[in-house]
A = this chain, B = another copy of it.
Amino acid sequence: MAKTTTSKPAAAARQRGVTMNDVAKHAGVSRTAVSFVLSNRENASISEETRARINEAVQALGYRPNAGARALASQRSDWYGIVTEIVTAPFAVDIIKGAQDQAWLDRKFLLIAPSDQADAVGPNQGLEDAATEKLLEQRVEGLLYAATFHRGVHVPESTKEVPTVLINCFDADGKLPSIVPDERAGGRVAVERLLQAGHRRIGVINLDPDIPAAIGRLAGAREALAEAGLELDPGLVVPGYATADGGYEAACRILDRYPQEDRPTALFCLNDRMAMGAYDAIKERGLTIPGDIAVIGFDNQELIAAYLRPKLTTVALPFEKMGALGVQTLAALTAGQPIIADQQLVGCPLLERSSV
């Protein structure tokens, strides 16, 4: 396995551009022939022998196709673009990973353009126009928009020029197809798990009640309870800021509100950060997890859920899957297939750890 210094290819390529012409000359054929074998044409009509000679020449010269020129000539770029503020927020970066991997499989290149967070809070909630523009200049074949958290967004007009799919967000004013987590089913599976463990009095630490995550997860929780013939005691639902401190305070309120015999035996925290705070509130009172109080979270923020003590049982947001599905959907659209559904829901799997 001695590393021979026969890296002539690299040396040759370094001097600014081995082209198909060079390959053709080296192999003693026309450039067209080279193009044919490199693109594996069906009706090839190139003899095995010259095909081999050409491949040798490619190796020998270290030829590397010029993607730009190819795109120009063939009128297709093999690029998708994704506009996202996610780069800023490690939280949902798995969307990108899922999309990347899927694109890679389809031999597409994913161009990632950052979207200014600034816009996201302003009156125009749209993801950034400049990024979209840049991507269109690259002649991407399709566009993806990905948000850090599930919400409605406004998308730039120019988007209408190419197929577009939204991930973890939905078109607030149009009909663009979108991929979003099935919050309701997620809330349901969480509470079902608690019921299955024998809990009957379940406290819920809520998020801002107006966002899709809160609406869906709470509805799911109610469904699960209803099926068990139970109702959600309004006193057991407390709102919290979406932080550890918020979770701590909410948990304190919920735990101190009732005499011990009425105290909930389980807490459904609508996100993991709040669960983190709830842990402190519970431990502070000399209670154990899950012995005295079971806790279940949502989001599966690895850095928290997998490192809390005991490890947090939680419902995962399917970021990676959403990213992959987004690319698949986009591929279908660019291939001219009709839109399957305006909104595709992706399941949120329960991750069993040790807090229930």
Most buried by B among A13, A71, A302: A71
Q: What string of 1s and 0s marks CB contacts (under 8 Å) between A188-224 and chain B? A: 0000000000000000000000000000000000000
Question: Is A273 part of the contact surface with B, judged by Cβ < 8 Å?
Answer: yes
Task: Please report whether the interface of chain A is mostly helix, strand, loop or mixed according to DSSP.
Answer: helix
Per a CB cutoff under 8 Å, which of B101, B277, B307 touches A273? Answer: B307
Question: Is A94 part of the contact surface with B, judged by Cβ < 8 Å?
Answer: yes
Q: Which of A29-37, A43-51, A59-67, A229-237 contacts B (4 or more CB under 8 A)?
A: A59-67
Known A160-B14, A273-B307, A307-B273; judge A97-B68 contact (CB<8 A): no
Q: Which of A129-137, A164-172, A174-182 contacts B (4 or more CB under 8 A)?
A: A129-137
Q: What string of 1s and 0s marks CB contacts (under 8 Å) between A94-105 and chain B? A: 101100110010
Give the docked Cα–Cα distance between A112 and B113 (Å). 10
Question: Is A7 part of the contact surface with B, judged by Cβ < 8 Å?
Answer: yes
- Find out whether the CB atom of B276 lies under 8 angstroms from the CB atom of A307: yes
- Chain B residues with Cβ below 8 Å from A72 are 66, 68-69, 72
Question: Is A303 part of the contact surface with B, judged by Cβ < 8 Å?
Answer: yes
| A16 CB, nearest partner CB in chain B, Å | 8
- Find out whether the CB atom of B65 lies under 8 angstroms from the CB atom of A307: no
Tally of chain A residues near chain B (CB < 8 A): 55
Q: Which of A84-92, A262-270, A329-337, A339-347 contacts B (4 or more CB under 8 A)?
A: A84-92
Give the docked Cα–Cα distance between A20 and B355 (Å). 63
Known A14-B160, A273-B307; judge A65-B100 contact (CB<8 A): no
- A residues near B (Cβ < 8 Å) are 7, 10, 13-14, 64-69, 71-72, 77, 87-88, 90-91, 93-94, 96-97, 100-101, 104, 109-112, 114, 133-134, 136-139, 157-158, 160-161, 243-245, 248, 273, 276-277, 280, 283, 301-304, 307-309
A to B CB contacts below 8 Å, 22 in the list: A10-B158, A14-B160, A64-B136, A65-B137, A66-B72, A66-B137, A67-B138, A68-B71, A68-B72, A69-B72, A87-B93, A87-B96, A90-B90, A90-B302, A93-B93, A100-B112, A109-B111, A109-B138, A110-B112, A243-B307, A273-B307, A280-B309
